[in-house]
């Protein structure tokens, strides 16, 4: 019975004592799941395999938190490694003026829009941007850049009579410099990474304009070919960054991992919409969760890991069993619960607590209760029976609550203690349930 009491109240805490280690066997199912998740998120086959292998090797032998399964724990580890890998390298652009940026990528990736977005963003950081139209192939590509430039009041260099891209680049650069521009962005045509002639074109353009940054603009929904695309462009022009686009869609975005793993080029920015300001620096943590798609498990393990003082939890459980649980203990327990986040969330994690609904009002009560206990002296907390009228006034005033609230707290705490005593070694789930119900009325105590 007391077992179930602690179940409801502290098992999330108590159960987190480390037992067992991650092993090949107990990770197997989860790893398979992770691999499938990565593959269905379009992570390249080889990248997914290698990644899972690496993490498995590193994780084997690690301690398992008891409240989570080895599978859940490995998913969390994978998530962390994913975040780390995706986030490697700096998102910052080179800190110099003038800064020259060359944009490259496949057809329809979003290079032109991204050029304008980047210019606009950097203008806010004190740069004077200019755009150079180097897409001489797609019909009206020059018009598109010009329109965006006009809209955002960014000067655009165009040469509609020439197909000589390196020359356009050089002249655009001179033109921009002459105008005192210190951020010069070169928008190039979409090209297949296997189109030798067109790839040579950007190699020559690069030579001509000596860019400080070469950004690969890539659709976040790219499939398995993302690795070839990134690798080829990287080999040809040595990328300095990747920009992921169309993240306002619902692609899982495994291509990001593929490209990063293959080239080790940092992912610097992400496009999140068609509007010019829908553009942000890259957030590896969000991307990792998106790719893995197991955010629930990850946050469960995270919460368990971050917040639990396992020995303390065990001590409290013991005290509850012996029914010498005082307000000091109560406070300590409450704080652990608070660290865990929302009560509703915790209750869901507790094995025995399904069906217990906990709303926001309980969270408020938790705060109030904590305030009242904090206003007591340690001696009072350990010996609640000494809290008389004048102490009550002082405590209530100190916590900004009514004496009535404090009376309520003390009364219910007293009942709870009584019940703990009465249930020592006693029987039946019924009584347990009654207690849970009563606790529900107690400020800060989870219950119906």
Partner 1 sequence: MAMKSFLSRFNEGLKRTTPTFYKAFGKVGGVFSGKKLDQGSLDDLEEALYGADFGVETATEIMDEIQAAYKKDKSLRGQDAAVIGAAVLRRVLDGAEPPEDFLTGVNPDVICLIGVNGSGKTTTTAKLGWRFTDDGKGVTIGACDTFRAAANEQIKAWAERLDLDLISSHHGADSAAVAFDAWQAAKSRNREVLILDTAGRLHTKGNLMEELKKIRRVLQKNDPTAPHHSWLVVDGSIGSNSIEQARKFHESFGLTGLIITKLDGTSRGGALVGIYRELKLPIYFVGLGEQKEDLQPFSVDNYVNAIFGLGE
Ligand X SMILES: Nc1nc2c(ncn2[C@@H]2O[C@H](COP(=O)(O)OP(=O)(O)O)[C@@H](O)[C@H]2O)c(=O)[nH]1
Residues placed in the known binding site for GTP? 105-112, 187-191, 245-248
Q: Answer yes or no whether residue 447 interacts with ligand X by CB under 6 A.
A: no
Rule CB under 6 A: choose which of 105, 110, 190, 254 binds ligand X.
190
CA nearest neighbour of 162 among 189, 201, 134, 199: 134
Q: At closest approach, how far in Å is the CB of 80 from ligand X?
A: 37
Task: Answer for the pair 169, 192: CB distance below 8 angstroms, yes or no.
Answer: no
Which of 255/439 has CB closer to partner 1?
A: 255
Smaller CB distance to ligand X: residue 190 or 266?
Answer: 190
Decide: is 202 part of the binding site for partner 1 (CB under 8 A): no
DSSP state of 102: E
Residue 251 neighbours by CB distance under 10 Å = 20
With CB cut-offs between 5 and 8 Å by kind, which of ligand X, partner 1, none does residue 151 bind? partner 1
Residue 138, interface with ligand X (CB under 6 A)? Answer: yes
140 touches ligand X (CB under 6 A): no
Q: Does 107 bind ligand X (CB under 6 A)?
A: yes
* CA–CA dist 157, 126 (Å, integer): 20
Q: Helix or strand or coil: residue 324?
A: coil
Q: Using the rule CB under 6 A, is 271 a contact of ligand X? A: no
The entry of ligand X, partner 1, none that residue 139 binds, CB within 5 to 8 Å by partner kind: partner 1
207 near partner 1, judged by CB under 8 A = no
Count of positions on this chain that bind partner 1 (CB under 8 A): 46
**SS3 of 317, please?**
helix
Cα distance between residue 373 and residue 410, in whole Å: 10
Enclosing H/E stretch for 87:
helix 70-87
Report if residue 192 touches ligand X, rule: CB under 6 A.
yes
Q: Which helix (H) or strand (E) holds 132?
A: strand 129-134
CB of 259 to partner 1, least distance (A): 13
| Choice between 112 and 333, CB closer to partner 1 | 112
The pattern of x and - marking residues 232 through 271 that bind partner 1 according to CB under 8 A reads --------------x-xxxxx-xx----------------
Stretch that binds partner 1, among 144-152, 204-212, 377-385, 426-434 (CB under 8 A): 144-152
- In whole angstroms, the minimum distance from the beta carbon of 157 to ligand X comes to 20
Residue 42 makes contact with partner 1 by CB under 8 A:
yes
Residue ranges for the known binding site are: 105-112, 187-191, 245-248
- Residues ≥6 apart with Cβ < 8 Å to 424: 2, 321, 322, 323
Contacts within 8 Å (CB) and 24+ apart, 328-335 = 328/378, 328/381, 328/382, 330/373, 330/413, 331/370, 331/373, 331/374, 331/381, 333/9, 333/10, 333/13, 334/366, 334/369, 334/370, 334/373, 334/444, 335/370
Q: In what order do the strands lie in the sheet with 267-271?
A: 156-157, 129-134, 183-188, 99-105, 213-219, 241-245, 267-271, 279-281
Among 79, 188, 193, 307, binds partner 1 (CB under 8 A): 193
- Given the complex with ligand X, which of 46 and 138 has the nearer CB atom? 138
Instruction: Report the interface residues with ligand X, using CB under 6 A.
Output: 107-108, 138, 190, 192
Instruction: Report the interface residues with partner 1, using CB under 8 A.
Output: 36, 39-42, 44-46, 106-110, 112, 137-141, 143-144, 146-148, 151, 192-194, 219, 221-226, 228-229, 246, 248-252, 254-255, 274
């Amino acid at each position: 019975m007391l077992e179930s009491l602690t179940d409801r109240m502290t098992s999330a805490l108590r159960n987190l004592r480390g037992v067992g280690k991650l092993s090949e066997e107990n990770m197997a199912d989860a790893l398979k799941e992770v691999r499938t998740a990565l593959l269905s998120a379009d992570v390249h086959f080889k990248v997914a395999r290698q990644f899972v292998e690496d993490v498995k090797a590193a994780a084997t032998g690690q301690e398992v938190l008891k409240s989570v399964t080895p599978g859940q724990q490995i998913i969390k580890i994978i998530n962390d490694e994913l975040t780390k890998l995706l986030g490697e390298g700096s998102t910052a652009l080179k800190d110099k003026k003038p800064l020259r940026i060359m944009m490259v990528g496949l057809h329809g990736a979003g290079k032109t829009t991204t050029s304008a977005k980047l210019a606009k963003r950097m203008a806010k950081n004190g740069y004077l941007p200019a755009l150079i139209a180097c897409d001489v192939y797609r019909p009206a590509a020059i018009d598109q850049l010009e329109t965006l430039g006009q809209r955002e009041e960014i000067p655009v260099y165009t040469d509609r009579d020439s197909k000589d891209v390196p020359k356009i680049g050089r002249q655009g650069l001179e033109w921009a410099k002459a105008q005192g521009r210190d951020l010069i962005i070169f928008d190039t045509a979409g090209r297949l990474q296997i189109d030798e002639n067109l790839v040579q074109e950007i190699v020559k353009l690069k030579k001509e304009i000596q860019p400080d940054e070469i950004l690969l603009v890539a659709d976040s929904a790219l499939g398995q070919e993302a690795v070839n695309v990134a690798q080829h462009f990287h080999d040809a022009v040595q990328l300095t960054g990747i920009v992921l686009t169309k993240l306002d869609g619902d692609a899982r975005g495994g291509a990001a991992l593929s490209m990063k793993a293959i080239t080790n080029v940092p992912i610097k920015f992400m496009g999140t919409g068609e509007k010019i300001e829908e553009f942000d620096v890259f957030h590896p943590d969000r991307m990792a969760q998106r790719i893995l798609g197991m955010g629930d498990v990850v946050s469960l393990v995270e919460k368990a890991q971050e917040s639990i003082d396992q020995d303390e939890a065990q001590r409290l459980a013991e005290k509850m069993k012996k029914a010498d649980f005082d307000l000091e203990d109560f406070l300590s327990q409450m704080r652990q619960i608070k660290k865990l986040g929302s009560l509703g969330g915790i209750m869901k994690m507790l094995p025995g607590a399904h069906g217990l609904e906990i709303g926001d009002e309980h969270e408020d009560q938790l705060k109030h209760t904590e305030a009242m206990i904090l206003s007591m002296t340690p001696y009072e907390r350990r010996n609640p029976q000494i809290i008389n009228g004048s102490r009550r006034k002082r405590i209530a005033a100190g916590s900004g609550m009514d004496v009535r609230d404090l009376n309520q707290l003390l009364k219910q705490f007293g009942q709870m203690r009584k019940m703990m005593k009465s249930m020592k070694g006693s029987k039946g789930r019924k009584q347990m349930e009654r207690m849970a119900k009563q606790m529900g009325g107690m400020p800060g105590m989870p219950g119906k």
